[in-house]
Amino acid sequence: MESSAIEQRLHFGNMEYGCKHYRRRCMIRAPCCNEIYSCRHCHNETTSMQSHLYRHDLVRQDVKQVVCSVCDTEQPVAQVCTNCGVRMGEYFCDICKFFDDDTGKQQFHCDECGICRVGGQENFFHCDKCGSCYSVTLRGNHSCVENSMRHHCPICYEYLFDSMKDTSVMKCGHTMHLECYREMINRDKFCCPICSKSVIDMTREWKRIDEEIEATVMPEDYRFGYFVMTAMTQPKFTFTLLDKNVVTVVHIIPEQSLRLFFLNDQILVVLEKNVATVNLEHYLIPHQH
Ligand SMILES: [Zn+2]
Ligand SMILES: [Zn+2]
Ligand SMILES: [Zn+2]
Ligand SMILES: [Zn+2]
Ligand SMILES: [Zn+2]
Ligand SMILES: [Zn+2]
Ligand SMILES: [Zn+2]
Ligand SMILES: [Zn+2]
């Protein structure tokens, strides 16, 4: 074959095969039970429904054989099918035996973590003390907790280190899923479930909320307003106005249209309408340490 034909063949079937977890052009033979599955999550979901004795997780690094989805040939793990010449994954990690055609996820392998992660190498750094990759926004900007990510989410009990969901790092350095964290905040619980420290670090969230506010175009009368209060000494707050849309903030009526977010010693109050007054006393942090 000419080099352009070989090149073309590599991309054949790209994004057309896979399971609900990954787009990829191969299945894996589970090293543990010798069965064929689309991916390790498919394996784990299936075995978790079996009897207690049979329940087990697949160790990704142990996968030895894959089956090409285009030509059905079983073969040792490699990026390109030895029989039909397609790339079984546009992204391929030889350590994790991991294939994914959807490179938009910006997969990368972290040597220290020993697994592949998503979100772009340039957006993460590996914190040796916490023992995991964290967003660069947290570099020199978080409390380190030894092996912080090597435990289960205190809300849903899923193991955090290799969870597919986003994780939030609290001011105390403890971690939980971002969605579990949001759920907790929605239930008006502002303490870390592990150490009970109250104020929560939202560095990553913070930026997103900023963007969300910027990106939201609302009719003049309903434009979001927001301001930051700094917790100086309880029970008094001083606060800084960040947005001209907020009317005089001394007393504002608490409404459902009001959302609170926490950043270090500050509280971000997002108003979904220009409401007249908020009673700040109402929002005292329950247990400050
Ligand atoms: Zn198995
Ligand atoms: Zn799957
Ligand atoms: Zn093949
Ligand atoms: Zn990897
Ligand atoms: Zn890492
Ligand atoms: Zn750390
Ligand atoms: Zn969780
Ligand atoms: Zn904590």
pLDDT value, residue 193: 87
- How many other C-beta atoms can be found within 10 angstroms of the C-beta atom of residue 265? 13
pLDDT value, residue 139: 87
CA distances from 195 to 18, 29, 145, 154, 262 (A): 41, 42, 12, 11, 17
Percent residues over pLDDT 90 in the chain: 42
DSSP, res 237: E
What single-letter amino acid sits at 206? W
Span from the CA of 158 to the centroid of ligand 7 (angstroms): 6
- Partnered with residue 271 across adjacent β-strands are 225, 258
Query: Domain locations in the chain?
Result: 3-105, 110-186, 203-283
Which ligand has the shortest distance to the CA of 18?
Answer: 2
Which ligand has the shortest distance to the CA of 84?
Answer: 3
Q: Per-residue pLDDT tens for 160-192?
A: 998 888 888 888 888 888 888 888 877 767 778
Which ligand has the shortest distance to the CA of 167?
Answer: 7
- pLDDT beyond 70 at 264: no
Q: Which of helix, strand or coil describes residue 275? A: coil
pLDDT value, residue 269: 52
Find the angle CA(266)-CA(124)-CA(140) to the nearest 5 degrees: 45
Torsion from C-alpha of 242, 247, 253, 255, nearest 10 degrees: -60
Percent residues over pLDDT 70 in the chain: 67
User: Sign of torsion, CA 110 113 114 119?
Assistant: negative
Give the integer Cα–Cα distance in Å for 54 and 108. 32
Lowest mean pLDDT among 48-57, 131-140, 246-255: 246-255
**Mean pLDDT on 191-217:** 56
Paired tokens of 116? 């592949």
CA distances from 117 to 16, 110, 154, 227 (A): 22, 7, 22, 35
Span from the CA of 111 to the centroid of ligand 5 (angstroms): 7
Span from the CA of 60 to the centroid of ligand 4 (angstroms): 9
Q: Per-residue pLDDT tens for 5-47?
A: 999 999 999 999 999 999 999 999 999 999 999 999 999 999 9
When comparing pLDDT for 4 and 244, which is higher?
A: 4
Span from the CA of 92 to the centroid of ligand 6 (angstroms): 28
Total residue count of the chain as it appears in this document = 289
Span from the CA of 246 to the centroid of ligand 4 (angstroms): 48
Span from the CA of 194 to the centroid of ligand 8 (angstroms): 5
